[in-house]
Amino acid sequence: MSMTFSGQVAVVTGAAAGIGRATAQAFAAEGLKVVVSDLDAAGGEGTVALIRDAGGEATFVRCNVTQESEVQHLMAQVIDTYGRLDYAFNNAGIEIEKGKLPEGTMDEFDAIIGVNVKGVWLCMKYQLPLLLAQGGGAIVNTASVAGLGAAPKMSIYAASKHAVIGLTKSAAIEYAKKKIRVNAVCPAVIDTDMFRRAYEADPKKGEFANAMHPVGRIGKVEEIASAVLYLCSDGASFTTGHSLAVDGGVTAF
């Protein structure tokens, strides 16, 4: 796999922890300058500190991806700080459902669709012109295995991730001849702070999460980060409009 990232610039949303933090660190380790973004300023600054402590270069910009003006500001800061944009990882997302479809509320629907769909759409809306001006680049959006099939008791979340894949495929075709590739990464259950909070009170749920993956365990944030870097790399130069399942075999059934 050819990694030719040195001196280039990436922006990562949802980078205060978990998959976003691991991917920001992985980009920086390959020599990229990274713009770390999240609503959680303390967590985002923490990611920047980790990158700098490891000898990398990064800066933090707080952004609510559901607000157009804040997304515009984020992308303006990318250019003001580093003068270019080469790669974007649109990772900000939420999952807050706890029941079957009729039990969902309007507030849950608006929140999930707002962050997971509108947020990805807004980010790409303002990233694509920058990549076009740069002469090319790559975008990776965080979808989910829930976007590749069903997700009982998470119907709104599943709908949002199916929508992310639709946005990804559509943008990929629109810009396929402009040297801009757009792909999605589709994780299964990943070992994040969110996962630990959800299952620490009930170890049996954690055991079930491990068992649902044919490999016998949940995934690691670093494994998703590796997939994102691959999709951005020259090694994936013929890959666009693809939804890459990184799922321990879940979708093989």
Question: What is the residue type of 150?
Answer: A
From residue 185, give the alpha-carbon distance in Å to each of 191, 193, 196, 226, 232. Answer: 16, 19, 21, 10, 11
C-alpha angle 209-189-249 in degrees, rounded to nearest 5? 85
CA 189 to the chain's CA centroid: 14
Q: Which residues pair with 37 in a beta bridge?
A: 61
Tokens of 28: 């920086």
The count of other CB atoms within 10 Å of the CB of residue 44 is 28
Tell me which of 87, 126, 157, 230 is the catalytic residue: 157
List own/partner pairs for 212-218 with CB under 8 A and 24 or more apart.
Answer: 212/188, 212/250, 213/188, 213/189, 213/247, 213/248, 213/249, 213/250, 214/248, 214/249, 214/250, 214/252, 215/248, 215/249, 216/248, 217/248, 218/188, 218/189, 218/190, 218/191, 218/248
CA 225 vs. chain centroid, Å, equals 9
Among the listed residues 243, 2, 229, the one whose alpha carbon sits nearest the alpha carbon of residue 144: 243
> Does 87 participate in catalysis according to the annotation?
no
Handedness of CA 207, 209, 220, 115 (dihedral sign): negative
Which residues does the annotation mark as catalytic? 157
